[in-house]
Structure 1
Amino acid sequence: MGVRKKERAEQIKEAKKSLAFAKLNNCPTSPRKMRLVADLVRGQKVEKALQILKFSNKEASRRVEKLVLSAISNWQEKNEDASIEDADLFIKEIRVDGGSMLKRLRPAPQGRAHRIRKRSNHVTVVLGAKDNTQSK
């Protein structure tokens, strides 16, 4: 059992080396608000996604825009010889997971206290390149 797990873990590690991704941990925005922005750009081409994020009014879109730019630069590091325009990059996967929660107390009437949960999230962006060799 241990050998199979180790081999599978190494396969996953090798597959991740070829992917271009970026992660943002403990972003102080609620996951629900961040998912609204993530749903706008999921599956879009990178150029179109950046335009959508640039002209969106939501604060979370600024953070996602910066994250997508980071993923693009990570892709460029792995593929120095290829250009972005020829690669036809798109957002293959964008995931928003709940992060740690800060718990605070707010005074309430009659000596009581209500708990306030300040949520945070983790965002992961994975880029994919469409293969033009198959279509030719």
Structure 2
Amino acid sequence: MEAVAKLRNYPTSPRKMRLLADEIRGMHVEKALALLEHHPQHSSTPLHKLLWSAVKNWEQKNEGQSAADAGLVVKTVFVDGGRTLKRMRPAPQGRGYRVRKRSNHVTIIVDSKVVSEN
């Protein structure tokens, strides 16, 4: 049984967040949490909290089971673009340059690892 956690309108560009999302996709949850906890990139903190939330959601769905015993895996991570705030910055000769402050939506799905019988 899988569990989902979502982060909406986080003020970082989706491109920067996808760099971390690609690193943890398919990893075991314990390893992914350790990686995010010590990663120097700014986006690792909200992603760590979101993954922790997904683990807790899974534990709520599966009463009596712990995430460590189940061997949870990060099944799916995807980052979508959120709203863009448009601002103006002064430029030479009385012009104005547009600054786009991007945000993103992140969705994480965790699931217990399925053992194949081959």
Which TM bucket (shorter chain)?
A: over 0.9
Residue matched to 2:44: 61
One-letter amino acid of the counterpart of residue 113, structure 1: G
Structure 1 residues 1-136: aligned runs within 5 Å: 18-132=1-115, 134-135=116-117
Q: Secondary structure of the residue that 2:46 maps to in structure 1?
A: helix
One-letter amino acid of the counterpart of residue 17, structure 2: M
Provide the alpha-carbon RMSD of the alignment: 1.4
Give the gaps of 5 or more residues in structure 2: none
Q: 1 or 2, which has the higher strand percentage? A: 2
Name segments (4+ residues, structure 1) moved above 6 Å: none
Is the Cα–Cα contact under 8 Å of residues 36 and 45 in structure 2 kept in the other structure? yes
- The CA distance in 2 between the partners of 1:131 and 1:98, in whole Å, is 31
Q: Secondary structure of the residue that 2:18 maps to in structure 1?
A: helix
One-letter amino acid of the counterpart of residue 50, structure 2: L
Count of residues in correspondence between the two structures: 118
- The CA distance in 1 between the partners of 2:10 and 2:68, in whole Å, is 30
Identity percentage over the alignment?
Answer: 54
- What TM-score comes out, normalization by structure 1 length? 0.83
- The CA distance in 1 between the partners of 2:32 and 2:2, in whole Å, is 19
One-letter amino acid of the counterpart of residue 53, structure 1: L
- Higher Cα radius of gyration: 1
Give the gaps of 5 or more residues in structure 1: 1-17
Higher RCO, 1 vs 2 (CA within 8 Å, ≥6 residues apart): 2
- The CA distance in 1 between the partners of 2:61 and 2:77, in whole Å, is 20
